[in-house]
Amino acid sequence: MYAPLRVVSLFIFSFITLSLSAQNNPTSNDWPAYGHDGGGMRYSPSKIINDKNVNKLDQAWSFQTGELKTYEGTSAASKAAFEATPLMIDKTLYFSTPSDRVFAIDAVTGQQQWVYDPKVNMHNDFSEVSSRGVSSWPMSQGFYPDRRIYVATIDGRLICLDAKKGTPITTFGNQGTIDLKAGFGKDLSATSPPAVIKNLVIVGSSLGDNQRFDYPRGTVRAFDALTGELKWSWDPIPQDSTDAAWKTWNGTKAHKTGAANAWAPISVDPARDLVFVPTSSPSPDYYGGERIGQNLYGNSIVALHASTGKIAWYFQVVHHDLWDYDIAAQPMLVDITRNGRKIPAVVVGTKMGHIFVLNRENGQKLFPVAEKPMPATDIAGETSWPTQPVPVLPAPLGIQKISKEDAWGLDSASKLAAEKRISQYINKGPFTPPSFQGSLMTPGNVGGIHWGGMCFDPQSGMLYTNINRIVPIITMIPRDKADSVVKQRKELMRVETGRQEGTPYIMKRDYLFAVSNGQMVLQTKPPWGTLVGIDMNVGQKKWEVPLGFMLDPTKNPGAEKWGSLNFGGAIVTAGNLIFVAASMDSHFRAFDATTGTLLWDYTLPAGGQATPMTYVIDGKQYVVIAAGGHGKLGTKLGDYVVAFTLK
């Protein structure tokens, strides 16, 4: 190597080592990663905007991406969701749209600096049309001659862009791009931002659910941040017979199972050389007869050594998943005070409403977890696992069980209809197996803690999260009897179908709701969405309040107290504030972090199904959220990024 180039290279990597020590620094007033820091704490130390003056918060600027034009002539709008959380680095915001266009805009004025269009073919039938954000290398603020922005796309590419110009860096991969589908098939996609640790960019994948047994496996890969060279890969479905987990997959096709992928954001701890991978259900979600056994490392939090990709430890949150109980939320790296001393922890929030708190270094439980007996399946060919781990503290959140006593309606007739409907189905608690009769699954595949995740205040030790409370109905139908069964049961005609090819059964999924005057009305008692505060020093819930509304309060008195289905997360600041949108009413709200009292409310121009962020420039604090709606949820679509500051 020519000597001056070698000196530059050594300078770059020395700079990386120093600057990336800030990756998990919660004290910075910028927002350099999806969850603020590499551990997803979503905490800002700024208190310029606080509980005393938040009522003076007003719009500073609004930016439109023109995204809706990219959907014209396609069906993409029915799935599109603007879920991105922008980064703020060097006074610039970086974010992606559902079609994976990447924007850089001025963080003070909202003026566009550049846009990069990867030209995703929106005529393709993607399972998800969403991108939750981009990543930066290095992750910290300050001068860097070759800062890069990475986006992982819904059509299965990893693209590296010059942060100043918005053009591909041609020395990375193949002219700036890595084809993530190569060797994995056309079904592989990506919706979460890559994780960045030292000189590595780490990506998981998103895969469609329930259509077949042999989806691609959910391999996690680490690439060199400069060259794109593959450094290591890790497969959550063991392929090595010497791995002890191999024996937890039984059946002639078991090791050909797909998925168990990490579609949620991955967290990193550079100081400990650890990567925390949240895995999902093996395919298909609701039938495991081709993969009898515990199915390690599916539905697990897996700590990998960043330098090698080898397992440091793991903890499985669901054994032999039959419920689509993916770990959907980013694992959160925090310090927990136990018996007077601080312990590095990873907090894992789940769809079951379970929060597992583990020692980050060795996976040991910091709060007690009970292994509880669970109901057995009656589906021929299936063998459900007899027990499941349930945390004692913090206590499970969301709907844990349901009966006809939980039925609800806008009037006596609709309540009676809800009672009748609930009585048709089976529910034996959070791990009720799928059935031929139909099973009410609580909390359900979008219940509990969803991809919106959690946030944490390191000063108070309080954790905050929003919760969904909607009940799915899962019905299994023998493949050879599907036509006759569907004809007999008209209610199955409207629902989602999972073909589950390669298994004996088709799956039908519906939810406990009715439609009244064009409104979705859940058939269980409100609240249907809540915001929760938990003291993690003792594991106790301190408060829980309804989040948003689904029905028009002017026509339905009391609706503002009923809560809403919600997608998108919350952030917490040192100003004793929680900022969250997420609900179906398109409102952006600020709550008192101590009490859960609503302090500020603003109506966005479109649905706010994203997690906000905040930053400080020249002594002024801004709060920013993407407002673009959610096609599947049915909220108002748009293409806005909206910033707020004090008047």
Active-site positions? 324
Three-class secondary structure of residue 405 per DSSP: helix
Q: Report the relative pairing of strands 613-617 and 598-603 from DSSP bridges.
A: unpaired
Three-class secondary structure of residue 524 per DSSP: strand
Please report, for residues 62, 448, 532, the alpha-carbon distance to residue 336 in angstroms, rounded to integers and kept in the order given: 38, 22, 18
- The answer for residues whose C-beta is within 8 angstroms of residue 183's C-beta and 6 or more apart is none
Q: Give the number of other Cβ atoms within 10 Å of residue 598's Cβ.
A: 16
In whole angstroms, give the CA distance from residue 253 to residue 457.
46
In whole angstroms, give the CA distance from residue 564 to residue 553.
12
Q: Are 573 and 29 a contacting pair, CB within 8 Å? A: no
Q: Are 374 and 390 a contacting pair, CB within 8 Å? A: no
Sequence-separated contacts (24+) of 231-237 with Cβ below 8 Å? 231/200, 231/309, 232/308, 232/309, 233/309, 234/277, 234/302, 234/304, 234/309, 234/311, 236/260, 236/261, 236/262, 236/277, 236/279, 236/297, 236/298, 236/300, 236/302, 237/282, 237/297, 237/298
Three-class secondary structure of residue 476 per DSSP: strand
Q: Which of 517, 309, 288 shows the shortest CA–CA distance to 382?
A: 288
Q: Give the number of other Cβ atoms within 10 Å of residue 413's Cβ.
A: 9
In whole angstroms, give the CA distance from residue 532 to residue 541.
7
231: alpha, beta or left, given left = phi > 0 and alpha = psi -120 to 50?
Answer: alpha
- The answer for residues whose C-beta is within 8 angstroms of residue 268's C-beta and 6 or more apart is 23, 24, 38, 39, 195, 196, 197, 202, 274, 275, 276, 306
Q: Tokens 């048709």 sit at which residue?
A: 424
In whole angstroms, give the CA distance from residue 67 to residue 355.
36
Please report, for residues 55, 399, 599, 600, the alpha-carbon distance to residue 596 in angstroms, rounded to integers and kept in the order given: 15, 20, 9, 12
Please report, for residues 147, 200, 253, 314, the alpha-carbon distance to residue 231 in angstroms, rounded to integers and kept in the order given: 20, 8, 29, 21
CA atoms within 13 A on the CB side of 436: 12
Q: Which of 72, 136, 141 shows the shortest CA–CA distance to 104?
A: 136
In whole angstroms, give the CA distance from residue 194 to residue 472.
31
Q: Which of 61, 108, 84, 57 shows the shortest CA–CA distance to 589?
A: 57
